[in-house]
């Protein structure tokens, strides 16, 4: 692991444990076994380091999802490696999404853009979404996925084990797969509810069009 990658890896852990306000360049440098000057050589300030962590998180999520839908989901060896990479990312996201910083909003928006890109362009093993509002679809799907991360302490308590560990994560992922792969409501219910909701949207005052991507 080169110095930049090592610093980034440790920064993910520090931000996850202490939040953006609590983590410091000096603390990250000490944990990474490098000088503060070297950290600032790669990342001029803490904001730049946090931004790099966000970008790394999104890129890693994209890579894991792409490989999973490309055949990796059926390979236990790949799943073990992917899980070891995903758990630190998700631990970071659990804190980063709720720490109140401006970066939290940007991180969520980046994730929505990634989700929309992947659902609109399609991937092997993924059905095209049945929606006439792809932006809302991507935003809600992202919120569903991030909700499991942000609420991991409650999920862990309910499931009887930490869901952000190699032991607990597979059960969480399998349950999520069951949810996403099963049509929980009937076509009749869907048609009736969509018609009623569309009427409410049409009758609502003001512009109800979804925001531009």
Task: Give domain limits for the chain.
Answer: 47-150
Residues 149 and 97: beta-carbon distance below 8 Å: yes
Q: What was the pLDDT predicted at 14?
A: 94
Whole-structure pTM value: 0.82
Q: What was the pLDDT predicted at 122?
A: 78
Q: What was the pLDDT predicted at 162?
A: 94
**SS3 of residue 213 by DSSP:** coil
- Give Cα separations from 14 to 89, 157, 163 (angstroms): 12, 24, 20
Residues 108 and 146: beta-carbon distance below 8 Å: yes
- Closest by CA to 60, choosing from 129, 9, 1, is 9
- CA dihedral of residues 31, 37, 41, 46 (deg, nearest 10): 60
Q: What is the CA radius of gyration of the chain?
A: 20
Which residue do the tokens 């659902």 mark? 119
Q: What was the pLDDT predicted at 73?
A: 84
Residues 49 and 5: beta-carbon distance below 8 Å: no
Mean pLDDT by 10 residues, the chain (213 residues): 89 92 94 94 94 91 88 88 90 88 87 92 83 94 93 95 92 92 90 92 70 54
Q: What was the pLDDT predicted at 212?
A: 54
């Amino acid at each position: 692991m080169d110095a930049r990658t090592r610093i980034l890896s440790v920064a993910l852990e520090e931000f996850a444990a202490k939040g953006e306000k609590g983590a410091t360049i000096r603390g990250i440098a000490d944990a990474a076994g490098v000088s503060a000057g070297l950290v600032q050589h790669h990342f001029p300030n803490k904001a730049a380091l946090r931004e790099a962590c966000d970008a790394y998180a999104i890129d890693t999520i994209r890579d894991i999802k792409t490989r999973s839908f490309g055949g990796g989901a059926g390979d236990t060896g790949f799943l073990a490696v992917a899980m070891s990479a995903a758990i630190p990312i998700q631990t970071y996201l659990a804190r980063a999404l709720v720490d109140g910083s401006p970066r939290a909003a940007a991180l969520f928006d980046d994730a929505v853009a990634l989700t929309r890109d992947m659902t609109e362009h399609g991937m092997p093993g993924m059905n095209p979404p049945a929606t006439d509002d792809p932006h809302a679809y991507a935003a809600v799907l992202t919120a569903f996925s991030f909700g499991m991360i942000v609420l991991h302490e409650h999920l862990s308590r309910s499931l009887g084990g930490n869901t952000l560990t190699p032991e607990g994560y597979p059960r969480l992922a399998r349950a999520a797969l069951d949810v996403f792969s099963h049509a929980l409501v009937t076509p009749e219910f869907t048609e009736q509810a969509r018609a009623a909701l569309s009427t409410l949207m049409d009758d609502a005052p003001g512009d109800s069009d979804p925001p531009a991507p």
